[in-house]
């Protein structure tokens, strides 16, 4: 049964490897959603050489109009039912703080807020049983002693305007944005489970930690010596250290969660290849709610899943039967 899966940041690192694993199943149409069309086309070309069915659509998560335009462009394509959205794109900025087009701090804006908006806008497009997977990081959890600063969540409003300079605040904004991914996964899963709409109820939402994956583009704002170590020294750790993975290994795991056998879970955290507990802070419901409500305000969406989200556009275009067939038993 043909189905479509969207992978944000599918041109590079984990996103590319996930897209590669997904496109190995020729029933899947993989839409790689990227801010740089040239890089995206290059990646798509590689995946097509392996026989994958791959489409490219432009998406810049640092711009809300770009996210809306992506959704419009997606709807204008004739694609098989949408079975999954992999919210993977993201970055870590240890250089000068940056802002999104709307003026929000960019690590928060791209890693969290852009994906929040994308996931909510695409709810009407998801087929029954569809999956949304947020890529987070074990660096959100101080117990893991990853060497990264602990996240600091006071309010979403404070995070959206935190432009404190320096490498350490930059890293902290990253770990906090990954905490936001978990809050969003849990909160969205709860909203969907409580929805009166059976299609929304059937959508599964999870958070996925790929572990440390040296060699990806994540370290691009680090000083040259650390970038060298990231690309040429640290990959040796994948041979013996727990939860240090090649992008290919984590990409296969992510693809399984986003579209495969583990996907019946919802509102769960997966790390090192299995479901496990996320940090104590990530279970703080008041903070998750603050993030949910503030993010709705910052993206001009209703705080509740509006009745409009229940209107499944594929109802009218003859693809509903395919969509229904995707629903998990």
Ligand X SMILES: NC(=O)c1ccc[n+]([C@@H]2O[C@H](COP(=O)([O-])OP(=O)(O)OC[C@H]3O[C@@H](n4cnc5c(N)ncnc54)[C@H](OP(=O)(O)O)[C@@H]3O)[C@@H](O)[C@H]2O)c1
278-284: long-range pairs with CB below 8 Å, 24+: 278/136, 278/140, 278/141, 278/182, 278/207, 279/140, 279/141, 279/142, 279/143, 279/179, 281/140, 281/141, 281/151, 281/153, 281/179, 282/140, 282/141, 282/179, 282/182, 282/183, 282/186, 284/153
Phi, psi angles (nearest 5°) of residue 305: -70, 115
Closest by alpha carbon to 177, among 106, 86, 242, 80? 106
Contact between 14 and ligand X per CB under 6 A:
yes
Question: Which segment (30-38, 124-132, 197-205, 290-298) binds ligand X by CB under 6 A?
Answer: 30-38
Smallest separation (angstroms) from ligand X to the CB of 98: 10
Stretch that binds ligand X, among 10-18, 78-86, 125-133, 150-158 (CB under 6 A): 10-18
60 binds ligand X (CB under 6 A): yes
Nearest to 299 by CA among 115, 154, 60, 33: 115
| Type and span of the H or E element at 30 | strand 28-34
Closest CA to 72 of 88, 86, 89, 57: 57
Work out the angle between the directed axes of helices 247-259 and 13-23 (0-180°, nearest 10).
60
Reading the block at residue 265, the tokens are: 């879970």
Residue 244 C-beta: closest distance to ligand X, Å: 8
Among 35, 112, 131, 287, binds ligand X (CB under 6 A): 35
**64 binds ligand X, rule: CB under 6 A:** no
* 7: contact with ligand X by CB under 6 A: no
122 belongs to the binding site for ligand X (CB under 6 A)? no
x-or-dash string of contact with ligand X, 78-117, rule CB under 6 A: ----------xxxx------------------x-------
135 binds ligand X (CB under 6 A): yes
Quick check: 176 binds ligand X (CB under 6 A)?
no
Site mask for ligand X (CB under 6 A), range 194-223, x = bound? ----------------x-xx--xxx-----
Q: How many chain residues are in contact with ligand X, going by CB under 6 A?
A: 28
User: Would you count residue 317 as binding ligand X (CB under 6 A)?
Assistant: no
Q: In the chain, which ranges are continuous DSSP H helix?
A: 13-23, 37-49, 64-76, 106, 115-121, 156-160, 167-193, 198-201, 224-228, 247-259, 285-298, 320-326
Neighbours of 91 (CB within 10 A): 18
The DSSP call for residue 149 is P
Shortest approach of ligand X to residue 176 CB, angstroms? 12
Nearer to ligand X, 88 or 314 (CB): 88
291 near ligand X (CB under 6 A)? no
> Does 11 sit near ligand X (CB under 6 A)?
yes
Residue 231 is a binding residue for ligand X (CB under 6 A):
no
Q: Which single residue brings its beta carbon nearest to ligand X?
A: 13
Work out how close the CB of 234 gets to ligand X at its nearest, in angstroms, rounded to a whole number.
Answer: 9
* 59: contact with ligand X by CB under 6 A: yes
Interacting residues with ligand X (CB under 6 A) = 8-9, 11-15, 34-36, 39, 59-62, 88-91, 110, 135, 137, 210, 212-213, 216-218
């Amino acid at each position: 049964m043909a189905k479509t899966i969207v992978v944000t940041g599918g041109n590079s690192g984990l996103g590319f490897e996930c897209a590669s694993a997904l496109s190995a199943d020729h029933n899947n149409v993989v839409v790689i959603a990227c801010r740089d069309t040239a890089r995206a086309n290059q990646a798509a070309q590689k995946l097509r050489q392996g026989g994958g069915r791959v489409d490219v659509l432009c998406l810049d998560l640092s711009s809300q109009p770009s996210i809306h335009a992506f959704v419009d462009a997606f709807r204008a394509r004739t694609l098989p039912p949408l079975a999954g959205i992999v919210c993977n794109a993201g970055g870590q900025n240890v250089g000068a703080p940056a802002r999104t087009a709307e003026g929000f701090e960019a690590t928060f804006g791209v890693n969290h807020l852009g994906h929040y908006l994308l996931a909510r806008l695409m709810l009407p497009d998801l087929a029954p049983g569809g999956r949304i997977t947020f890529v987070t990081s074990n660096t959100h959890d101080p117990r893991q002693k990853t060497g990264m600063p602990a996240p600091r969540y006071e309010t979403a409003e404070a995070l959206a305007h935190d432009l404190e300079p320096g490498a350490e605040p930059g890293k902290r904004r990253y770990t906090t944005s990954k905490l936001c991914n978990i809050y969003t996964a849990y909160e969205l899963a709860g909203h969907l489970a409580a929805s009166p709409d059976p299609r929304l109820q059937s959508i599964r939402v999870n958070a996925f930690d790929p572990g440390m994956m040296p060699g990806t583009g994540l370290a691009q704002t680090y000083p040259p010596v650390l970038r060298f170590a990231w690309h040429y020294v640290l990959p040796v750790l994948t041979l013996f250290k727990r939860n240090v993975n090649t992008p290919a290994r984590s990409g296969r795991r992510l693809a399984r969660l986003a579209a495969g056998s583990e996907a019946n879970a919802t509102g769960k955290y997966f790390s090192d290849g299995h479901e496990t507990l996320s940090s104590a802070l990530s279970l703080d419901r008041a903070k998750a709610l603050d993030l949910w409500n503030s993010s709705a305000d910052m993206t001009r969406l209703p705080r509740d899943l509006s009745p409009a989200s229940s209107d499944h556009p594929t109802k009218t275009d003859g693809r509903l039967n395919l969509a229904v067939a995707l629903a998990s038993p």
